[in-house]
């Protein structure tokens, strides 16, 4: 077998059931049509060989988003989308969501309606558009998920199962992001390695660990090309706070340039790993492009910097000395933050596929202040 070539060979007649070649027999069973059988049986219990696209076949990417449940993340998806289109072609990267996107998304390439809870429609999109890569961003974030556990379970777990089944059935390369929230209070915190005790205490974190383990299981058992990165807190000028525990690190820049005052919901010494959005997107693209033979893991930590609210405030004051920060810790978010790592160990990502961040704290602060100042000026808003 050539390096980097994936061949998925599902087990035959798993648990006494039948493979795809025997589907016609199922229709003759009294009182039991094939449509009532588990939907994933066509791949999970077949003898079909699954191989990746040939080098001559175009990569065709479907990106799932869910702006209705986490408006901040959809902007990250859009930026990732635009970066991908530069490499793979305008019509080969398709964004999907349940909510109408910003106008420039339509102008830059295909957009389709897709609900990750609608398995049949998602399957149609994958088949009709000849999708080879599936990038699954739909999720309910940490603090919002704690306020609506039932909805978080539905979006984060049922939606995940749908894309796992479809990726396996259609032999797709599947990317599912994970998070700093996949760790818990019993995890090593400084630094947190790729492999350790996790046991998170939020539904968001539990669903992400579930996704990591399901993807790894399907990779080892059936050869699914599952890939996952644990994102730290991601900081972007285009991303308004959307219910995440690390969102203060976005809001503080907007407040610094608007009112000159930021009230932080975490203690000043709460250290968490963070990353500039550009590094986050570049890591994702580079990871998806990495030959499979280079990957020793299916889930990797990626790191760039780690700072506290007070440290980022001090760096901002080098540019805006008038910034005032007050602290009013929110019990829910502070408890979540205290259960998370203060640093990521990303040694394996650096060794296996060459990960290296471009932004440190100094570069991040300069870029965020410059970008937000330009944005406010263009929108006719005052700048403090």
What residues are annotated to the active site? Answer: 204
More confident residue, 252 or 102: 252
Residue 241: its pLDDT value, please?
67
Average pLDDT, the chain: 82
Q: What is the mean pLDDT of residues 225-243?
A: 86
Question: 104-123 burial, b for 16+ CB within 10 Å, e for fewer?
Answer: ebeebbbbeebbbbebeebb
Which band of pLDDT confidence, cut at 50, 70 and 90, is reported for residue 107? confident
Give the SS3 label for residue 238: coil
Which band of pLDDT confidence, cut at 50, 70 and 90, is reported for residue 384? confident
**Rounded to whole angstroms, how far apart are CA atoms 95 and 271?**
34
Residue 230: its pLDDT value, please?
97
Share of the chain above pLDDT 90, in %: 61
Q: What is the mean pLDDT of residues 216-234?
A: 96
Residues 34-87 pLDDT 10s: 333 345 444 555 545 455 555 446 889 999 985 433 434 444 555 555 556 666
Residue 85: its pLDDT value, please?
61
Q: Using CB atoms within 10 A of its CB, is residue 327 exposed (0-12), middle (13-18) or buried (19+)? A: middle
Residue 45: its pLDDT value, please?
55
Residues 137-152 pLDDT 10s: 988 877 788 889 999 9
Tokens matching residue 343: 């640093």
Residue 14: its pLDDT value, please?
33
Give the SS3 label for residue 132: coil
pTM for the structure as a whole = 0.81
- What domains can you pick out in the chain, each with its CATH number? 61-240+275-305+344-358 (3.40.50.720)
* Phi, psi torsion values for 263, nearest 5 degrees: -100, 120
The region, left, alpha or beta by phi > 0 then psi within -120 to 50, assigned to residue 147 is: alpha
Residue 105: its pLDDT value, please?
73
Residues 245-259 pLDDT 10s: 899 999 999 999 999
Q: Which residues contact 127 (CB under 8 A, 6 or more apart)?
A: 170
**Rounded to whole angstroms, how far apart are CA atoms 210 and 208?**
5
Q: What is the mean pLDDT of residues 276-286?
A: 91
* Phi, psi torsion values for 46, nearest 5 degrees: -110, 170
pLDDT of 10 above 60: no
Beta strands in 211-310 (DSSP E): 225-231, 233-235, 261-264, 272-276, 299-301, 305-307
pLDDT of 22 above 50: no
């Amino acid at each position: 077998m050539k390096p980097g070539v994936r061949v998925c060979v599902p087990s035959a007649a798993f648990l006494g059931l039948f493979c795809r070649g025997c589907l016609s027999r199922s229709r003759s069973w009294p009182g039991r049509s094939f449509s009532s059988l588990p939907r994933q049986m066509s791949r999970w219990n077949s003898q079909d060989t699954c191989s990746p696209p040939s080098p001559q076949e175009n990569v065709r990417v479907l990106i799932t988003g869910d702006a209705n449940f986490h408006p901040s993340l959809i902007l990250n998806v859009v930026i990732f989308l635009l970066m991908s289109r530069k490499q793979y072609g305008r019509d080969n990267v398709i964004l999907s969501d349940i909510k109408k996107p910003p106008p420039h998304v339509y102008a830059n390439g295909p957009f389709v309606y897709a609900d990750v809870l609608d398995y049949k429609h998602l399957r149609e999109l994958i088949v009709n558009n000849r999708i080879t890569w599936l990038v699954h961003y739909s999720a309910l974030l940490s603090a919002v998920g704690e306020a609506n556990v039932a909805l978080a379970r539905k979006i984060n777990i049922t939606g995940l199962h749908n894309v796992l089944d479809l990726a396996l059935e259609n032999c797709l390369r599947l990317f599912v992001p994970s998070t700093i929230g996949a760790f818990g209070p019993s995890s090593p915190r400084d630094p947190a390695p790729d492999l350790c005790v996790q046991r998170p205490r939020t539904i968001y974190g539990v669903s992400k660990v579930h996704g990591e383990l399901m993807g790894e299981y399907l990779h080892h058992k059936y050869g699914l090309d599952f890939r996952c990165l644990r994102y730290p807190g991601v900081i972007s000028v285009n991303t308004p706070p959307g219910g995440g525990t690390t969102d203060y690190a976005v809001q503080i820049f907007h407040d610094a340039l608007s009112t000159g005052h930021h009230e932080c919901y975490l203690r000043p010494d709460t250290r968490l790993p963070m990353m500039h959005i550009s590094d986050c997107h570049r890591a994702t693209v580079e990871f998806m492009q990495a030959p499979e033979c280079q990957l020793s893991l299916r889930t990797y930590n990626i790191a760039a910097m780690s700072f506290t609210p007070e440290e980022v405030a001090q760096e901002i004051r080098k540019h805006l000395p008038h910034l005032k920060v007050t602290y009013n810790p929110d019990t829910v978010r502070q408890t979540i933050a205290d259960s998370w790592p203060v640093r990521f160990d990303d040694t394996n990502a650096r060794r296996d596929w060459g990960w290296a961040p471009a932004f440190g704290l100094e570069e991040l602060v300069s870029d965020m202040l410059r970008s937000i100042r330009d944005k406010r000026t263009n929108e006719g808003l005052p700048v403090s």
